[in-house]
Structure 1
């Protein structure tokens, strides 16, 4: 079964005014367009282009009508639920610092808030469902900028040294501000203590020590000494964040994180506990279908500091770049360590460019037309258009001059 689907981009304020429209080959709407959702998520299920033919108005309704056909083996694992959500994401401004829970944390947190009677749409609700929310982002623009995971300790020391050099060269040095952070970072749980202190003391209080540190770091980031240092990109990010969120403690937290630039086709995998923020760029994002987000600054939304500290993984890491593997000629697969999804990029009309389906799929065309054929049917989709594919199509063959992005589930393990 092939079903053409479409949706309206989400108009979050951080979105680009042009990038998603250009990807789709349509005129810009005049409003910010942040995310194009292609899935069955209740917040914005994709519309069925020909509802009379499909017998459903949207993808969620289509799946609910015959989950065994629509989901195949995934039906047994997930019930009547598409386990992934595909997005086109276009960030013109930084998103919030955030992290996502493990499956156990999600189940426990959701159960706790349900038992406490916290309304599902309450401002201070943390867990909207009992599912984890790992994410994969692949750069479509020439560069995609992000923060992801805590830096190695030696890099954090390097950032502090650059700030101390800038402070010493300033007309009125204030080394005490940097000492506030350095003394906390030197402890056995230095990252946890520092992040907790910044978020608890630095939000809503512009007269305390944390606020002083944020103000001082922001000023030093603009200095020649900082911008000539090896960490210039991180300091430019500080200035960008300060312009969007002046005084926010997330400005300082950003310096503790890996500053990542992805080239086109490069990817990040954001597993549970990874604190991250997208800064700018256009990407294909694939995630588990969940709304569980614990925020950590750079946002007017709810920040539950104790819960965030429980979810965060404070282990320093290298940037979690995920390299694709060649699954077949013209076919690259981005397969993270996640049970809910895998992503293929298909380019060219080679007969060998085939994908074997282990479950439902969504195909999105980039840059031109894409033809897709399976065991029982076929579909042609134009640039920026998408289609849902049921698993009984078994093996997909591709043609056309466009690139096909295929979101699906990996084969079941064991």
Structure 2
């Protein structure tokens, strides 16, 4: 990939398709796997014995995917180059007893996942997606992509002070979406509806992991269409860029001094502590098994990890024109200014000076500009999978990303150039 004179519309169009096809983490990893298979990757089961053959492989577990490519003849102690990201986004998730309602309205009981901007989910046409677990233990993805649910806001006539005192939402009482009418709310209505929509027989579904999503498609925005509005860019923008970069590295045919890896985790938005989160053993187990499958020893594993670098790619904050005082006065990342390097001396981000040098070299090789981001000292700083990856695996990690507005909204805003610029930088990084 080479840096575009304006932006690569094909890459951004493809990101829009990726966002639309990925309303849940389970759909996101399935979409990424499909693209990697087209580049020659094959799925390996964690319960099978692994061989040390070269080529592209991936492990799929729930809403997480780890994919890696072993070049021909590579030594067991060869370090990894990892692009890390996460597949989940803040949203509303269906409770174990989903059927509820009041005063003639049918509603779906939801729980708040992560830290969404709750007001962004009001008065918006919503679909339903996720994973169904069947009686035989298999799973089935479900995506109701038509207008199905809505969280209606209270009319201003019944809340005259809303524009002066601010909108106040009770997470339990005010965020339950409606999906129909009827005085007789029966347990099993929602699941029976999903079984019918999925072509399943009644009673076949015994478990579910379901969430709502905005059905409004991504779109270019602005006079010159230099902006991109869409859902779940935090952090599917990075998952897409990492997938595209890994596929490009494999198909470019260049000699690779490292083993390129994509690690996209679930549950970053609520702390990463799960078997599919960055604080779980998945990444370390996959990397170790790759070393051992190629005849490596524990010493080879230690040498490989010592030379490994991970770019933790997640969205960051572009300077907001209406709230510029909330940003650090000397660090104002702009959309379409290239990817951002995220720094926090209290290790909320994992970047240090040596990590900055690695990222700067990749951007220079790719001909991509980059920007620096730090938080205002008076504002608490967010965090990423970066510090978790560094601490859990002893891997040098650098936090980067793309600057956006409206982070954690049901619909976020980025520059249309930046996704492609990020992917270019990731290609150069993975190629070493």
TM-score (norm 1): 0.29
